[in-house]
Amino acid sequence: MKTLSETLGIGAQNKIFLTADWPAPDNVKTLITTRNGGVSEAPFHSLNVGAHVGDHPECVMRNREIVQNQIGLPPVAYLNQIHSNVVVNATDAMARLTDADASVDTTGQAACASMTADCLPVLFCDKAGTVVAAAHAGWRGLAGGVLQNTVRAMQVVPLEIMAYLGPAIGPEAFEVGQDVFDAFTEQMPATERAFESIGGGKYLADIYALARMVLQREGVNMIYGGEHCTVLERDSFFSYRRDGQTGRMVSLIWLEKDA
């Protein structure tokens, strides 16, 4: 039997769906979309799940159905992401579109979601498999405390938490200004080593390293992922910085409850 990738004519190097490579409990499930396998046309080609980027609503709806079919139950709790540090319960976000950048669930009745196209999606679970969370961490949210707030909202000992850093802009492509450098180093001087000065008040920033430092300061030491670059891996990922008008991927995590 052909795989979905083969049916759609997509090579092995251009996978449609990824999963977190980490030692999570068996009842913790993840799904990370790529840009492949959907119905949207350029510049959103093809699996765009972002309803706010200018794509045809019918295409976005169909793409979200494709994603939903991959996970079955529970339904995905999409957020209206605003680069904040606000964390909500995923089940509450199912009732209406909520302004927030992270969600937490202990019920198994909703899949926590982080939509990205260069920003960092971070998936969380505890070692016992009782709670999961997903955070959208652009540099503003990361500097503003979205990861710290997510860890606290999980209400378990940080040493029991593991985190997975999903596909984001890599350190070779993330050029930032003095404002970003100052936003991190003024509150956490050690983050200076995550920046490489390239002159003129400009830096190359390593968002993966920044996230690891923040999480480790919170007591989260089991950290995985962080090997992709959405800008450079053109065939696999949407990138706002590379393309401007483009689609969005989604990183999902949920608890699988016994039937």
Q: By the 8 A CB rule, do 67 and 74 touch?
A: no
Estimate the crossing angle of helix 207-217 against helix 146-154, to 10 degrees.
Answer: 40
- In this prediction, residue 14 carries a pLDDT of 55
Does residue 247 contact residue 44 with C-beta atoms inside 8 Å? yes
Give me the phi and psi of 191, to 5 degrees please.
-70, -5
Report the share of the chain in percent with pLDDT over 90: 92
Torsion (CA) 213, 218, 222, 226 in degrees, nearest 10: -40
For the chain, the domains span: 16-169+220-255
pLDDT digit string, tens, across residues 31-70: 999 999 999 999 999 999 999 999 999 999 999 999 999 9
What's the Cα-to-Cα distance from 37 to each of 201, 204, 241, rounded to whole Å?
40, 32, 22
What are the CA-CA distances from residue 241 to residues 98, 113, 118, 130 (Å)? 25, 21, 7, 36
The total number of residues shown for the chain amounts to 259
Q: What is the mean pLDDT of residues 27-33?
A: 98
Please answer whether residues 59 and 40 qualify as being in contact, where contact means their C-beta atoms are separated by less than 8 angstroms.
Answer: yes
What proportions of the chain, in percent to the nearest 5, are helix, strand and coil?
25, 25, 50
| pLDDT single digits (tens) 138-180 | 999 999 999 999 999 999 999 999 999 999 999 999 999 999 9
- Tell me how far apart the alpha carbons of residues 239 and 229 are, in angstroms, rounded to a whole number: 9
Is the pTM higher than 0.75? The answer reads yes
CA angle 90, 96, 99 (to 5 degrees): 70
> Which fold, 16-169+220-255?
CNF1/YfiH-like putative cysteine hydrolases (3.60.140)
